[in-house]
Amino acid sequence: MIKKLLSITTITAFAFFTVTAQTSDIPNKAFELWSGQNATSWNNLNGVAPGSCTKATAGADIYGGSGAIILKTLSVFNTTAPGTAATGTINLLQATVTGGTPFTDRPDSLTGWFKYAPVGNDAGNIVGILLSADPARDTIAVAVFFPSGTVSNYTYFKAAFEYRLPDAPTQALFIMASSGATGGQVNTMMYVDDLGVVYNPTVGVDEAEATKEITVYPNPVSDNLNVNMAGIQGANVSIFDITGKKVAQHNLTEKLNSINVASLANGMYVYQVNSNTNGTLKTGKFIVK
């Protein structure tokens, strides 16, 4: 089954997971291995959009080791082409990614380090998709992170895998794009280094308390979405549609915030609560109805 690029945020069901032997990993996850401008084990669009995927060479553009990946949104034949890299086969015209890399475990989260230099309100995406064997090739779990806003220094991210099936995967797709499927802006750039997967991690006290204290409601919502920060200071919330396009961003106070979403079309959206200094605090989904 062909998986539509960037359409995976429509997945809402969540199933239990069990910790298994940690035999799977992301190939060339630190982007140390390159052949020219092609990162080993990662496909890109350089064949049709030269320069959309390049190796970081400046020290400030590398988080660790001697390599990182830079993705840049370009204009190709009057079509906006997000800088894209994937552990599968990319079809720009059909906006699809097929294939994948062998993967048999059920991790808790997808992690990594990134910088982001968007043009306008552009928003990129970093995605992990766990799949069952052919011919069914069902989606077992998805993790998605939406970089947005200017992030000048490398910042840690963690996106939880949301499981929809209890099966063990046999394959995984890891996809990164500098812009969303719609609304991409030419010259938007995303830097990524040291991707990883986390198994049943021990959550720090501060992070656990922040996730516990931040509440977002109601869901579904028709007019005002409430974000209760319960004393957490210096944060903002970004809202994305299912293509990864950022449709709103608001600064948050440390108390109760009411965000009017009545102008948004009916459908599913992803919210991302970010600290102004410490990265993402909480992500989730809500429905405008």
Q: Are residues 130 and 171 in the same domain?
A: yes
Task: Tell whether 103 and 217 lie within a shared domain.
Answer: no
Q: Taking residues 170-183, report their average pLDDT.
A: 91
pLDDT beyond 70 at 239: yes
Domain check: are 246 and 223 in the same one? Answer: yes
Using CA atoms in the order 71, 88, 80, 62, what is the torsion angle rounded to 10 degrees?
0
pTM: 0.69
172 and 226 co-located in one domain: no
Give me the phi and psi of 9, to 5 degrees please.
Answer: -75, 0
Q: Is 106 helix (H, G, I), strand (E, B) or coil?
A: coil
- Domain identity same for 245 and 129: no
Number of structural domains the chain divides into: 2
Final residue before a domain boundary, out of 150, 169, 198: 198
Q: Are residues 11 and 135 in the same domain?
A: yes
What stretches of the chain show up as alpha helix (H) in DSSP?
Answer: 205-213
User: Which of 168, 198, 228 delimits the end of a domain?
Assistant: 198
Please determine, for residue 4, whether its predicted confidence score (pLDDT) is greater than 60.
Answer: no
pLDDT in tens, 105-136: 999 999 999 999 999 999 999 999 999 987 77
**The CATH number of the domain where 45 resides is what?**
2.60.120.890
Contact predicate 237/274, CB 8 Å:
yes
Q: What does the pLDDT average to over 156-182?
A: 91
pLDDT at 15: 25
The CATH number covering residue 278 comes to 2.60.40.3080
Are 75 and 209 found together in one domain? no
Cβ neighbours, 10 Å, residue 72: 21
Residues 123 and 265 in one domain: no
Residue 257: which pLDDT band, with cuts at 50, 70 and 90?
very high
66-75, 128-137, 234-243: range with highest mean pLDDT: 66-75
What is the distance between the alpha carbons of residues 19 and 13, in angstroms, rounded to a whole number? 19
Contact 190, 114 (CB under 8 A): yes
**What pLDDT is attached to residue 200?**
64
Which comes out higher in pLDDT, residue 211 or 174? 174
CA-derived radius of gyration, the chain: 18
Does the pLDDT value for residue 33 go beyond 60? yes
Give CA–CA dist 112/258, Å, rounded.
31
Q: Which of 198, 216, 245 is the last residue of a domain?
A: 198
Q: In terms of residue numbers, what domain contains 118?
A: 3-198
Cα dist from 279 to 18, 158, 159, 190, 206, whole Å:
28, 9, 12, 16, 13
pLDDT above 90: residue 191: yes
Cα gap 191→126, rounded to integer Å:
11
Q: Determine which of 19-33, 175-189, 205-219 has the lowest per-residue pLDDT on average.
A: 205-219
Decide which of 45 and 182 is more confident.
45
**How confident is residue 280, by pLDDT bands cut at 50, 70 and 90?**
confident
% pLDDT > 90, the chain: 53
Same domain assignment for residues 88 and 219: no
